[in-house]
Amino acid sequence: MVKWIMVVDDDMANLKMAGTILSKNNMKVTALKSGKAMLDYIEKNGAPDLILLDIKMPEMDGFEAYDELRLLEQKLEIRETPVIFLTADGNTGSETKGFEMGVSDYIRKPFNPDVLIRRIENVLSVQNEMINLKNDATIDKLTGLLNKAATTAQFSKLCLEKKGCLLMIDLDSFKLVNDLYGHEMGDKVLITFAEIIKKEVPSKGYFGRIGGDEFVAFSDGITDESDVATVSMNLNETLLQSAKELMGDDMSIPLGVSVGAIMVPIFGNDYSSLLKLADKCLYKVKKNGKHGYAIYSSEVLEEDETNSVGMDIKSLSEILGERNVPNVALQLDMEAFSYVYRYAIRYFMRNNINASKILFTLEKVEGQDDIDFRNYADEFGNHVRESLRKSDILTRSRYNQYYVLITDVREEFVGRVMDQIVENWNIGYGKVLEISYETEYIRNDIGISGDEIKSDVVMIDDDPINIDYARSILNRHGINIIPFNSGEDFLEYADSAEKLPDLILLDVKMSGMDGFEVMKRINEAGGDLSRVPIILLTGESSEEEEIAALDSGAMDFIRKPFAPNILKVRVNHILELVILRRKYRKSIK
Q: Per-residue confidence at 453, pLDDT binned at 50, 70, 90?
A: very low
CB neighbour list of residue 442: distance below 8 Å, 6 or more residues apart: 345, 348, 354, 355, 356, 357
The pLDDT of residue 305 is above 80: no
> Which of 332, 339, 355, 335 has the alpha carbon at shortest distance from 402?
332
> Which of 384, 415, 410, 413 has the alpha carbon at shortest distance from 397?
384
Q: Identify the pLDDT of residue 48.
A: 95
Angle between helices 411-429 and 370-387 (to 10 degrees): 130
Q: Identify the pLDDT of residue 445.
A: 55
The pLDDT of residue 191 is above 90: yes
Angle between helices 92-101 and 62-76 (to 10 degrees): 10
Q: Identify the pLDDT of residue 314.
A: 54
CA separation (Å) from 535 to 116, 463, 504, 506, 579? 18, 17, 6, 6, 16
User: Average pLDDT in the 187-192 region?
Assistant: 96
Kind of pairing, strands 503-507 and 534-538?
parallel
CB atoms within 10 A of CB 145: 24
DSSP letters, 160-205, are: HH--EEEEEEEEETHHHHHHHH-HHHHHHHHHHHHHHHHHHS-SSE
Helix, strand and coil content of the chain, in percent to the nearest 5, comes to 50, 20, 30
Q: Are 407 and 399 in contact (CB under 8 A)?
A: no
pTM exceeds 0.85, yes or no: no
CA separation (Å) from 230 to 222, 238, 258, 508, 548? 10, 12, 13, 67, 61
Angle between helices 92-101 and 564-588 (to 10 degrees): 20
The pLDDT of residue 479 is above 50: yes
Q: Are 555 and 480 in contact (CB under 8 A)?
A: no
Q: Are 69 and 48 in contact (CB under 8 A)?
A: no
Model confidence pLDDT, tens digit, residues 210-265: 988 999 999 999 999 999 999 999 999 999 999 999 999 989 899 999 999 999 98
The pLDDT of residue 381 is above 50: yes
User: Average pLDDT in the 436-454 region?
Assistant: 66
Maximum mean pLDDT: which of 109-113, 376-380, 575-579 = 376-380
Model confidence pLDDT, tens digit, residues 65-118: 999 999 999 888 888 999 999 988 766 677 888 888 888 898 888 888 988 999
User: Average pLDDT in the 55-66 region?
Assistant: 92
Q: Identify the pLDDT of residue 498.
A: 83
- Bridge partners (DSSP) of residue 557 are 536
CA separation (Å) from 87 to 54, 113, 255, 531? 6, 15, 61, 31
The whole-angstrom distance between residue 113's C-alpha and the CA centroid of its chain comes to 32
pLDDT above 70 covers what percent of the chain? Answer: 90
The pLDDT of residue 45 is above 80: yes
CA separation (Å) from 17 to 10, 22, 55, 86, 481? 13, 9, 17, 13, 41
Model confidence pLDDT, tens digit, residues 146-175: 998 889 988 988 888 889 999 999 999 999
DSSP letters, 513-571, are: S-HHHHHHHHHHH-TTGGGS-EEEEES---HHHHHHHHHTT-SEEEESSPPHHHHHHHH
Lowest average pLDDT, out of 47-51, 90-94, 429-433, 516-520, goes to 90-94
Q: Per-residue confidence at 273, pLDDT binned at 50, 70, 90?
A: confident
Lowest average pLDDT, out of 364-368, 390-394, 584-588, goes to 584-588
- Count Cβ neighbours within 10 Å for each residue of 38-61 and write b for 16 or more, e otherwise: bbebbeeeebbbbbbbbbebeebe
Q: Per-residue confidence at 309, pLDDT binned at 50, 70, 90?
A: very low
Q: Per-residue confidence at 288, pLDDT binned at 50, 70, 90?
A: confident
Mean pLDDT of the chain: 86
Q: How far apart are the two ends of the chain, measured CA to CA in Å?
A: 30
Q: Per-residue confidence at 346, pLDDT binned at 50, 70, 90?
A: confident
Q: How far is 297 from 304, CA to CA, in rounded Å? A: 11
Q: Identify the pLDDT of residue 449.
A: 43
Q: Is the link from the previous residue into 110 a cis peptide, with omega within 30 of 0?
A: yes
The pLDDT of residue 267 is above 90: no
Amino acid at 422: V
Q: How far is 355 from 337, CA to CA, in rounded Å? A: 16
